[in-house]
Amino acid sequence: MPRLFGMVLRWCLLPLLFLLAEAMASELFRASRAQGLGVASALHPLALWFAAGPAFRLLFGALMRRLGRDDPLEFIDTLEHELTHALMGYATFCPPVSLSASLKAGGEVELKGSNPLAALAPYFLPLWCLLALALGLVVKAGMQATWNHILFFLLGWFCYRLFREYRWRQTDLHVYGFAFSTFCVFILLMLSLGLVLGVRGLLSWHWLWAAAIHAWHALPLAWTWGTSHLGGSAGPEHGPLP
């Protein structure tokens, strides 16, 4: 019964998650564009360093295949994946019982318990980037611009891993339902990106408040649309019989 209740609750939450995802994406894009980080700024130095992350991984992987060797960086990806499960498990009171990672066989982590944050952590938590973000707080002032380049390179690296791992066959994404997991990952990704930009002083934190207001104002509009389009027709009305 608890499992059935959880499944029904997750399905009921999907419309709310959709509204929140749309609001956060809209406000983050608007705030980023105002700071000169929008799509139109594709030649911005930070955008180029971001693109360098996946470009490096693709070229390095091609080189390793050309040499007939395994890509050693795939082990780094596997380690990050499993560590994020474990660390989020600790943070949400579901500590890991065992953890393994290997280059060819992949990895596995067993948690004492389960929750959506721990299950989905590898898909929204750029661990290496967040570690670099923390180190950036103590880096000398003269190195801050270079540190931004490193951070965006690592963000691009994370996106490379995300695109490789986020697929239908990934069991992590089916533990709480693929649709529910996808909306949760998208929302938490927006938060992670906003955190990186906010800590580095590249984005105002005001976008979070704006996203909350955006989602709140969208609720009655979505309710009105849903009741008028999905509520069904009551059928033709008949007047009183003569």
- Residues 159-192 have pLDDT tens digits of 999 999 999 999 999 999 999 999 999 999 999 9
Residue (of 221, 217, 215) closest to 27 by Cα position: 215
The pLDDT value recorded for residue 12 is 87
Instruction: Report the chain's mean pLDDT, rounded to a whole number.
Output: 88
CA distance 18 to 7: 17
In the three-class reduction of DSSP (H, G, I as helix; E, B as strand; rest coil), residue 107 is classed as strand
Alpha helix (H) ranges present in the chain? 2-34, 45-66, 73-91, 116-124, 127-136, 144-165, 178-199, 206-230
The pLDDT value recorded for residue 41 is 58
The pLDDT value recorded for residue 80 is 97
Q: Is 139 left (phi over 0), alpha (psi -120 to 50) or beta?
A: beta
CA distance 140 to 230: 58
For residues 75 and 106, is the Cβ–Cβ distance under 8 A?
Answer: no
Looking at the predicted structure, is the pLDDT value of residue 241 above 50?
A: no
Beta bridge pairs of residue 95:
none
CA distance 108 to 20: 32
